[in-house]
Structure 1
């Protein structure tokens, strides 16, 4: 059975790589030991800010088997999104690298469904399960680390030894019993480095590999639904208008990984041609056209305007 399972894993890996995934790993669909305590402490401290949903479905967040009946294995997959030319993150208004092209939820979900169909059709007709792309109460980074795909960095992101942290995480939770890695989720390869902590302009990165979301520029410019960004952060955005990559830009593990080759993640010519005057005069119709099918639409036009106006203080 073990040899058969390893053969199935190789076939799944080959198909996943063919579909464009950069790496994948396998872990048991069981309780994530220690994560319940860490999650509860983070919630109790109020570090989830306005993301009240993070307190929902607590048991499911720490045990993937509660999401899918009969689940035995979690397949964690990584997809590289590091751009060859990160110009949209280097000039005002700065956009996080993950949002350059089409919404990754849509791109990866199609690939996950294709992988699921392949396993069911060609490998295991009795397959049952679900696919997830940041779409369920799963502790994705902990699952990926347990599957041997890296470790949780001091900025709370998953870091892969070869890919760095510019990777999208996604999962298959399956009733297929496969050999798994199940390595400790908090192996530390950051050592004494504190570059990400030192570089964060809002001091959002805390000890214990956690982040105070209420101080994080990514939260403040995306998930934050308030009409205004708190004045204490005025002049500290460094031009970031949708998301923030500062803690990843300074990370030594992101220096060597190569760029992605996914056409869907390439920014449009119109987006690359935008200048400050065009951004300032942009209206709702322009925003909708420019970011059609993009994750940036999560902020909505009103949120973009709020962020743009606030971020100008850092640049002009």
Structure 2
């Protein structure tokens, strides 16, 4: 934005952006001043040093960019954080191999990216010459840290962003723009003495409050890991074939989760009713049809079959 900062009606612009975000279907919108994330830097460094990223080597790349969006967007002034609900109105049938609720519908990367493009276009149309970039879990941005800094919730003991009256079944995305806006403030932690997520984790991946060893997480094993799943994990997956929702399902704040209203996140009815036998006998043709635009395609059929065979053996 080329206009002098002192002349910017930041309050009006902030209100316009938040109203448009709501119109686009986002659950909430919070804004932070772009800059270096001082508190997160040592935490991230320590997490990586302990190799809690497992084989996710990409987490080691662009360390500085992960902590400073100004290195991603020239002259960045504001980080606009947005939440989009994905909690489903119906869940898989019982006695089935389970997939994370976030993967029920179409791949969230594409759904949210379109909404962010619309929001950026709106900003450029209504406000003027504004440059920015949209991020949806696909670039080195610490989305949970920015959402917490923007007052959208607090980082819980399971390392997910939690929000009062909403829970945690939502996606987080950002627009980083070269526009000064009014900034929100972080909220307080409301986990209290609760340890439900720590106690329930099937693989004990939550090694301490607020610290998750990614290399022990079921989501890591079923999605990120390309090699064979370690034999010592046998019997610990509780039928999760893609991702895992246990630490969210047991969180008391998720009692407040309400179904989303995004048609693109609605599940394929066939997938919802799959039995274990259907999963075990899935063909390439069925996989392509049922999961045509799904995040589940990330594992490919071969990876999904590996996971199911691990659960069966």
Q: How far is 1:47 from its partner?
A: 0.2
Given that residues 72 and 174 in structure 1 are in contact (C-alpha distance below 8 angstroms), is that contact kept between their aligned partners in structure 2? yes
| SS of residue paired to 1:48 | coil
Q: Distance in 1 between matches of 2:272 and 2:100?
A: 14
Given that residues 6 and 179 in structure 1 are in contact (C-alpha distance below 8 angstroms), is that contact kept between their aligned partners in structure 2? yes
Gaps of 5+ in 1: none
What TM-score, normalized by structure 2, do the two folds share? 0.95
Q: Distance in 1 between matches of 2:301 and 2:92?
A: 22
Given that residues 147 and 180 in structure 1 are in contact (C-alpha distance below 8 angstroms), is that contact kept between their aligned partners in structure 2? yes
Calculate the aligned-residue CA RMSD, in Å: 1.4
**Equivalence for 2:108:** 104
Given that residues 197 and 247 in structure 1 are in contact (C-alpha distance below 8 angstroms), is that contact kept between their aligned partners in structure 2? yes
Given that residues 152 and 186 in structure 2 are in contact (C-alpha distance below 8 angstroms), is that contact kept between their aligned partners in structure 1? no
Matched, 1:35 2:36: no
* CA deviation map 1:219-264 (0-9, x unaligned): 10001111x1111110110000000000000000000121111111
Q: Distance in 2 between matches of 1:290 and 1:91?
A: 19
Q: Distance in 1 between matches of 2:209 and 2:44?
A: 12
Q: Distance in 2 between matches of 1:43 and 1:6?
A: 39
* CA deviation map 1:113-132 (0-9, x unaligned): 0010001011x211001011
| SS of residue paired to 1:49 | coil
Q: Distance in 1 between matches of 2:169 and 2:29?
A: 15
Q: Distance in 1 between matches of 2:226 and 2:259?
A: 33
| 154-163 or 51-60: bigger deviation | 154-163
| SS of residue paired to 1:192 | coil
Given that residues 96 and 274 in structure 2 are in contact (C-alpha distance below 8 angstroms), is that contact kept between their aligned partners in structure 1? no
Matched, 1:11 2:16: yes
What TM-score, normalized by structure 1, do the two folds share? 0.94
Alignment counterpart, residue 95 of structure 1, candidates 99, 105, 109: 99
| SS of residue paired to 1:255 | helix
Q: Distance in 2 between matches of 1:31 and 1:155?
A: 24
Alignment of structure 1 residues 151-162 onto 2, 5 Å: 151-162=154-165
Gaps of 5+ in 2: 1-5
